[in-house]
Amino acid sequence: MTLPATLAQRLRLPLIAAPMLRVSGVDLVSAACCAGVIAAFPTVNARSPQELDAWLARIAADRDRVERPTAPPCPNLIMRRDPDAIAEDRRVLVHHRVAMVIVSVGSPAAVVGPLHGAGCLVFADVASLLHAEKALAAGLVLLGSGAGGQTGWVNGMSFVRAVRGIHDGPLVLAGGIHDGAALWAARVLGCDLGMMGTRFIATPESLASDAYRRMLVDSRLDDVLLTRAFTGLDTNMLRQSIAAAGLDPAALPTPSPDEARQVFGSEGSAHVRRWVDVWSAGHTVSGVDAVRPVAELIERIDAEYAAAQRETAALLARPPQPQP
């Protein structure tokens, strides 16, 4: 285990509830932290530095009321933004002495120094071995294939093993962590933590609409479509949401990121807005069988994790088969 012991000891599970644009709000984050799971959220989900400050104060107050150990929140700084806005968010995070931060979409160079200086553990989101080698952060989130949102393309198992060969700091796998058994498998592979996104969308505490949550329950793995249509980058989307928005999932355009923003961005030319009218999910959608409160979902993942550990112990205890 390469996570600092002071952090690892607080966790009920080696799990991060993933940062998700327009999905991870203060209610989801607070509920997960209070249930012993690290919960991430893009700082842009709070609409201003003042709201970000209020969110972090509320999460700290909620955690203070819980008698058992609780997990820290993990803000996510999206780097492809106005540098002044990033610096303002960073100041709020340092003021609240957050324990960990994930930096994604762009170089973390501008924030790593100040965050490390404030004693914060910094994780960089990477999707290739080259980016893992270049990352300045102490920790890495390996964005594997099949992830919700803008996905990686490298097979998660290969990615973890390749990076473990060159990096002995904290490692997190994102993408394909379907349930507690998959989380245990990630630990066996060499990860310190797994990250789950899609399963946490289907909770009443998320910022998702009821229709989005219901669609996740009704969808299966084959309903996830890999497309560049809405972001210009490989993104996993729910086929049914595309059809419901009046588009043909089999005849989507392949725009550049700028073109996609002009058409499907919040002020785009199409009547369909990405993330709002068409929805994302990872391959893990097949693990969503109901909308459950965050605490109940974590309870289930914990039970699945314990069952997988027992299964492993039973496999190891089985006497060796006689050789022919």
Of the residues 2, 8, 10, 21, which one makes contact with ligand FMN according to CB under 6 A: 21
Size of the site for ligand FMN (CB under 6 A): 25
Of the residues 7, 17, 18, 247, which one makes contact with ligand FMN according to CB under 6 A: 18
Of the residues 3, 7, 11, 20, which one makes contact with ligand FMN according to CB under 6 A: 20
| Cα atoms found within 13 Å of the Cα of residue 255, Cβ hemisphere only | 15
Of the residues 14, 36, 42, 156, which one makes contact with ligand FMN according to CB under 6 A: 42
* Choice between 5 and 231, CB closer to ligand FMN: 231
Rounded CA separation 243/191 (Å): 37
Rounded CA separation 106/125 (Å): 9
Considering only residues 171 to 200 of the shown chain, the ones binding ligand FMN according to CB under 6 A are 174-175, 177, 195-198
Residue 74 near residue 101 (C-beta atoms within 8 A): yes
Q: Which has the closest alpha carbon to 18: 115, 90, 123?
A: 123
Report the chain's C-alpha Rg in angstroms.
19
**H helices of the chain, where?**
5-8, 26-34, 49-64, 83-95, 109-117, 129-134, 156-164, 180-189, 198-201, 210-218, 239-244, 257-264, 294-317
- The DSSP bridge partners found for residue 143 are 174
Considering only residues 58 to 87 of the shown chain, the ones binding ligand FMN according to CB under 6 A are 76, 78
**Taking contact as CB under 6 A, which single stretch among the options 146-154, 156-164, 253-261, 305-313 is the one that binds ligand FMN?**
146-154
- Classify 102 as helix, strand or coil: strand
Of the residues 148, 156, 180, 232, which one makes contact with ligand FMN according to CB under 6 A: 148
Measured between alpha carbons, how far is residue 1 from residues 6, 8, 97, 200, 207 in Å?
12, 8, 23, 25, 33
Site mask, ligand FMN, residues 250-289, x = CB under 6 A?
------------------------------x-xxx-----
Residue 138 near residue 223 (C-beta atoms within 8 A): no
Q: Which uninterrupted H or E stretch holds 211?
A: helix 210-218
* Choice between 21 and 295, CB closer to ligand FMN: 21
Rounded CA separation 258/252 (Å): 16
* Choice between 30 and 43, CB closer to ligand FMN: 43
53 exposure class (CB count in 10 Å sphere: 0-12, 13-18, 19+): middle
* Choice between 76 and 219, CB closer to ligand FMN: 76
Residue 135, interface with ligand FMN (CB under 6 A)? no
Site mask, ligand FMN, residues 93-122, x = CB under 6 A?
-----------x------------------
**Taking contact as CB under 6 A, which single stretch among the options 67-75, 169-177, 250-258, 304-312 is the one that binds ligand FMN?**
169-177
Residue 231, interface with ligand FMN (CB under 6 A)? no
Residue 320 CB, nearest approach to ligand FMN (Å): 37
* Choice between 59 and 301, CB closer to ligand FMN: 301
Query: Per the structure block, which two tokens stand in for 58?
Result: 């509320």
Please give the span between the terminal C-alpha atoms of the chain, in angstroms, as a whole number.
39
Binding site for ligand FMN (CB under 6 A): 18-21, 23, 42, 76, 78, 104, 125, 143, 147-149, 174-175, 177, 195-198, 280, 282-284
